[in-house]
Structure 1
Amino acid sequence: MKIPAFCQLSDFGPEVAGSFVDSMLSLGKYCRQQFGVETFFIFPERAKNRKWLSRFNDGDFPVGFVSAKRNVISDVRDLLKEYDPLIFHTHFSQFDLSPLLLKFLYFRHSKVVWSYHHSLSLTTKQRIKDWVKINCLGECFVDKFVAVGDAVYAGLLNAGLPEKKIALVYNGIDVERFSLNSSRSSIRNHLDIEDGSIVFLLLGRNPFIKGLDIFLKAAEEIIRKKETSARFIIVGKEETRKVISSYIKKADGLRKVIKVINPVDDFSSLLNAVDVFVSCSRSEGFSYAVVEAMAAKKILLSSNIQIPVISGLHGKAEGILVYPTEDWKSLSELMEKFLNMETSKRMSLGSANYAYVKNYFSVEIWAKKMGKMYHDLLKN
């Protein structure tokens, strides 16, 4: 007799696990405990040697790998030869179409779920592709679309999907992993951060989308006005470094106050070393990093984009200071406001952010909501 299973098919393979892996493991454990159903996790081959895979092995979860091509039907069928897939759930779009064919050819009873982790593309060409995919295939053959944020949900509605087909399920994080701080002083020493410095952190791996130019202009305005204790850390790789190097040629004063580092495995430790998390994003589906920073009791300076912690169902968290998207002068004013803020006020706002995330965005809450959706799909 074949083993009933939920099949998570994810185009995910970065070096750093991030909160997506926390979510998958939490959902797998929840489904095992609540329904007695195993979860089979399938990743692309590029994920094969990632350190974070050991966590799935530790949890005794079956894991398989497929090629990077879009059609992975034969690969998935071979992996599942001992399993009865009750639900195919895809993430990050690369493998979305394969479960439809698997269902049609081999697993007629299986349900199909597509998770959308990012807003739909703004380009005309991609919008047409999305419309065809969603309306000609998805609406007919996909049982449920999952939107991870309000902007994603609105995009799916605008693409023509009926409301009953979409589930709005905000992503969750392991809150305690980010609230248990390691030694702040040792991490700051490692990063060559001087005593008394106030550190603003930006994740800039996709320079335009993440608003790196806005962050640099705001930082330049801070140091132009007066001597400051502000320091600016930017996480990114070669593309990010090129943008910064080019900008600094025109604003040499930034050279002494900006530090660029590569992405780190232990993001919680990096958060512990900084004082403020800055999001200059021009668009987001759901920002794990924003919620993780809030769980680490950091104040957030954010562009006014449609993300759950600003415009979602639960209202805006108290420790978020918002500025108009693209307005670097307003961001600079918020930076200055933080620099002049009393320590007790900073701590109070940081604690408010932690409480907000714990109440609404824990990975346990996410797994429970996703599990209920699975239960309802199978019941119907």
Structure 2
Amino acid sequence: MPTTDPACILQIADYSAPFASNFLSSLFRLEGLVRDRLGLRTAYVLPEAARERPWIRTAQDAGAIVEFLERGGSHRQRIRTLRCLGLEHRAALLHTHFGTFDADAAVAAWRLGRPVVWHMHSPFLTAGSWRRGVGERIKFGLVARLLVDRIVAVSPSVAEGAVAGGAPRSKFSVVLNGIDVERAHPLDPADRSALRRRTGIADGDVVFLLLGWEPLRKGADLFAEAMASVSGESAMHARGLVVRGETNEAEVLGMVRSAPSVRVIPGVPDVAELYGLADCFVSASRAEGLPYAVGEAMAADLPVITSDLAQVVAVYGRAGAGVLTFRSGDAKDLAAAMARLLATSPEDRVRLGRANGAFIREGLSLRRWSEEMIAVYRSVLGTPEG
């Protein structure tokens, strides 16, 4: 057990994407509030695969403390590393994200005599291999019950799914994701027009955008099928863009080859440019927690079409008519939603998008998210407010 006063929160995340993201913006915003409200530093523990990413160097140049953990190591090795980092940085609390290091951090925190918080960004796994399913039930039914102080879920339905899988209800807090509206914002009209021209988008085209980092889960196949079958007079102006990941270009191209109006493009560091290409964002996901991308697209003043996953509709659907839904997994229903969007006037699409942007800025800001996370930390640490 540490013999000195705690000085740091360890943010432990299985994140090594090529570009910075809303997730990182959230943690960096929280870091400032942790320092100001709790008097604690923040250190980030990320996979070795993140070490050479440009955003790592940017964060370190700005003063961020970053450590690395071998994702492929054994549980024993990862527990030892996390315990050593906890001692080195005088950790007050360990906070994990994305599941990979949850059990390791729970054991390391127990050995340190410090609390641990798990953050559930995705639903409880009910599909996949039998072995993985058993592992998830042991993790939530035993490890969470015995060693974890709090589980933060990104939506009520994510929490309920984990409780149904054996997790203790009493340990859950629900904190809806916040959206970085400085990162995802509408482009100036002149800049947007120039960007679309450079990308080969003609005046009058109506562009639907889908992010295909994990193309099957994100529904790239459904998107292509819908784009190929959408009908009506305005369908001739419909264009689709699917953003591929670093290593899945062939997989994505295979999924969309049946839709001549769909192009596959690489990701870019500036997400405002991606959303600036589009007239409508599509989330065709088969499974999600509470996707940042839907909130980002709304913050960029875009109308959105999303699969009718309960948590997505419950949170983002409150924005109103600018969020259209379709039956999850149903390409024909997605095509019908696209046709409805195509039938609206450009002026109405702008109006719907602006209403979405106002909804995000007023109700799902990073400031609100950070304040709620500080309340979770105070509760776990037993630190009174003021």
How far off its partner does 1:78 sit?
3.7
User: In the alignment, which residue of structure 2 is the partner of 1:50?
Assistant: 53
Rounded to whole Å, the distance in 1 between the matches of 2:160 and 2:196 is 41
C-alpha contact 1:150 1:306 (8 A) present in aligned 2: no
Question: 2:219 aligned to 211, 224, 231, which one?
Answer: 211
User: In the alignment, which residue of structure 1 is the partner of 2:275?
Assistant: 271
User: In the alignment, which residue of structure 2 is the partner of 1:186?
Assistant: 194
Q: Give the number of aligned pairs.
A: 372
How far off its partner does 1:102 sit?
2.2
Rounded to whole Å, the distance in 2 between the matches of 1:246 and 1:198 is 21
* Runs of at least 5 residues in structure 2 that lack an aligned partner in the other structure: none
Say which is worse superposed, 148-157 or 294-303, in terms of deviation.
Answer: 148-157
Question: 1:117 aligned to 121, 131, 139, which one?
Answer: 121
How far off its partner does 1:242 sit?
3.7
Rounded to whole Å, the distance in 1 between the matches of 2:255 and 2:309 is 27
C-alpha contact 1:120 1:127 (8 A) present in aligned 2: no
* 3-state SS in 2 of match to 1:283: coil
C-alpha contact 2:235 2:342 (8 A) present in aligned 1: no
How far off its partner does 1:314 sit?
8.0
Instruction: Give the counterpart letter for 1:49 in structure 2.
Output: E
Question: What root-mean-square deviation, in Å, do the aligned CA atoms of Structure 1 and Structure 2 show?
Answer: 2.2
Instruction: Give the counterpart letter for 1:92 in structure 2.
Output: F
User: In the alignment, which residue of structure 2 is the partner of 1:101?
Assistant: 107
How far off its partner does 1:301 sit?
0.8
Does residue 376 in structure 1 map to residue 379 in structure 2? yes
Question: 1:221 aligned to 229, 232, 248, which one?
Answer: 229
**Alignment of structure 1 residues 84-99 onto 2, 5 Å:** 84-99=90-105
Instruction: Give the counterpart letter for 1:161 in structure 2.
Output: A
C-alpha contact 1:205 1:240 (8 A) present in aligned 2: no
C-alpha contact 2:183 2:271 (8 A) present in aligned 1: no
Q: Deviations over 1:214-273 (max 9, x none)?
A: 21121111268776111110111454544544653xx4xx32x22101222111111011
Say which is worse superposed, 34-43 or 322-331, in terms of deviation.
Answer: 322-331
Rounded to whole Å, the distance in 1 between the matches of 2:81 and 2:205 is 53
Question: 1:130 aligned to 129, 136, 141, which one?
Answer: 136
Question: 2:158 aligned to 140, 152, 156, which one?
Answer: 152
* 3-state SS in 2 of match to 1:140: helix
Rounded to whole Å, the distance in 2 between the matches of 1:54 and 1:299 is 35
User: In the alignment, which residue of structure 2 is the partner of 1:16?
Assistant: 19
Instruction: Give the counterpart letter for 2:89 in structure 1.
Output: Y
Question: 1:202 aligned to 183, 192, 210, which one?
Answer: 210
Rounded to whole Å, the distance in 2 between the matches of 1:307 and 1:63 is 32
Rounded to whole Å, the distance in 1 between the matches of 2:253 and 2:87 is 50
Say which is worse superposed, 75-84 or 60-69, in terms of deviation.
Answer: 75-84
Say which is worse superposed, 219-228 or 19-28, in terms of deviation.
Answer: 219-228
C-alpha contact 2:234 2:343 (8 A) present in aligned 1: no
Rounded to whole Å, the distance in 2 between the matches of 1:201 and 1:243 is 14
How far off its partner does 1:66 sit?
1.6
Rounded to whole Å, the distance in 2 between the matches of 1:317 and 1:192 is 32
User: In the alignment, which residue of structure 2 is the partner of 1:343?
Assistant: 346
Say which is worse superposed, 2-11 or 370-379, in terms of deviation.
Answer: 2-11
TM-score (ref. length: structure 2) = 0.89
Rounded to whole Å, the distance in 2 between the matches of 1:379 and 1:184 is 49
Question: 2:294 aligned to 290, 295, 298, which one?
Answer: 290
Rounded to whole Å, the distance in 2 between the matches of 1:55 and 1:243 is 30
The percentage of counterpart residues that share the same residue type is 30
C-alpha contact 1:206 1:240 (8 A) present in aligned 2: no
Instruction: Give the counterpart letter for 2:338 in structure 1.
Output: M
C-alpha contact 2:122 2:289 (8 A) present in aligned 1: yes
**Alignment of structure 1 residues 255-270 onto 2, 5 Å:** 255=260, 257-270=261-274
Instruction: Give the counterpart letter for 1:155 in structure 2.
Output: G
TM-score (ref. length: structure 1) = 0.91
**Alignment of structure 1 residues 303-318 onto 2, 5 Å:** 303-308=307-312, 310-312=313-315, 315=318, 317-318=320-321
Question: 2:336 aligned to 322, 327, 333, which one?
Answer: 333
* 3-state SS in 2 of match to 1:347: helix
How far off its partner does 1:152 sit?
1.5
Rounded to whole Å, the distance in 2 between the matches of 1:87 and 1:317 is 39
How far off its partner does 1:53 sit?
1.8
C-alpha contact 2:30 2:370 (8 A) present in aligned 1: yes
User: In the alignment, which residue of structure 1 is the partner of 2:171?
Assistant: 165
Rounded to whole Å, the distance in 1 between the matches of 2:98 and 2:276 is 29
Does residue 83 in structure 1 map to residue 86 in structure 2? no
User: In the alignment, which residue of structure 2 is the partner of 1:281?
Assistant: 285
Say which is worse superposed, 356-365 or 295-304, in terms of deviation.
Answer: 356-365
How far off its partner does 1:190 sit?
2.7
